[in-house]
Amino acid sequence: MAGARVTAVATEGPGHAAELAREGAASGADLVVVAGGDGAINETVNGLARSRIPLAVLPFGTANVLATELGLPRNPGRAARLIPDMVPERVSVGLLRTAEGTGRYFLLMAGIGLDAHIVLNVDLALKKQIGKLAYWIGGFGKLGQQFPQFGVRINGNVFQSGFALASRVRNYGGDLEIARTASLLENDFEIVSFEGEDSFRYLKYLTGAVGNFLHKLEGVSIHNVREVEFTPPPGVDVFVQVDGELAGKLPAKVEIVEDALTLLAPAAFRERYQRRRRACAAVEA
């Protein structure tokens, strides 16, 4: 790669990418490149978080939300050729804490409730055949069911939700923009919370996301915060996913860890962010 000496190592199972990333950082690597989907990227982030070793991404996987967010080409070869001209961005990451573990970092988002239950129950064989369409099939398969409501605590205020997203990125699943003001270059989450037990109500929310008027719908709450807590209803398991991978169940807390990761991004990534900030400032003025 542009005259660099590269050591390629294949992962051998779940969690191995984090181990390899830690070993690479400890051995004095100048750069860690992960070739994989959002799950493999998440593992690598957990191996590099709080270090100064840059991370670059060659997009593979089912959706690869990070590649979409950064504006990377989905062709790994084309993405690799861009690496020498990419810009190091020092970014914050999220940290999920549950009663089951010591904590897990995430770069993109934590999803609580509906989407985590879909991740839990997705048909892996079908996912291998048809990709992210398997998640849509799993989601529509829940029509007619009731969604358990859990508590969302923000700045001391508690409200109920059937699906909540603590997002660091604008796009969701590579198809929808749900967290419209989120950015990896900010130091907070955009929390998007959906109220309601009736599964058919979520068809309205989906229409709002597709039509870009989600923020105007009754039952949708949006907050920009640095931490949030989630509590389950009595006797009911409510699950959490981070970056598309199941990560435990409630109760849970999500918080921002500043200055945690060096991410290589195209120069146009920050330029697009700055244009959006200027546009938002002009609208507010």
Tell me if 115 sits within 8 A of 178, measured CB to CB: no
Whether residue 82 is found in the same domain as residue 217: no
pTM assigned to the model? 0.90
Q: Residue 254: which residues within 8 A CB-CB, separation 6 or more? A: 94, 95, 96, 97, 110, 166, 189, 227, 228, 229, 230
Query: pLDDT per residue over 200-236, tens digit each?
Result: 999 999 999 999 999 999 999 999 999 999 999 999 9
Whether residue 150 is found in the same domain as residue 50: no
Q: Residue 92: which residues within 8 A CB-CB, separation 6 or more? A: 168, 184, 186, 187, 256, 257, 258, 259, 260, 261
Q: How confident is the model at residue 285 (pLDDT cuts 50, 70, 90)?
A: low
Return d(Cα 56, Cα 85) in angstroms, integer. Answer: 12
Whether residue 70 is found in the same domain as residue 117: no
Closest residue by Cα to residue 93 from 81, 78, 79, 110: 110
Counted domains in the chain: 2
Domain that holds residue 125: 95-258
Whether residue 232 is found in the same domain as residue 151: yes
Query: pLDDT per residue over 100-138, tens digit each?
Result: 877 999 999 999 999 998 888 877 776 777 667 666 667
- The pLDDT value recorded for residue 176 is 84
SS (H, E, C) 172-231: ECCCEECCCCCCCCCCCEEEEEECCCECCHHHHHHHHHHHCCHHHCCCEEEEEECEEEEE
**Is residue 278 in a domain?**
yes
Query: pLDDT per residue over 135-187, tens digit each?
Result: 666 777 787 788 999 999 999 999 999 999 999 999 887 778 899 999 999 99
Q: What is the CATH number of the domain that holds 56?
A: 3.40.50.10330
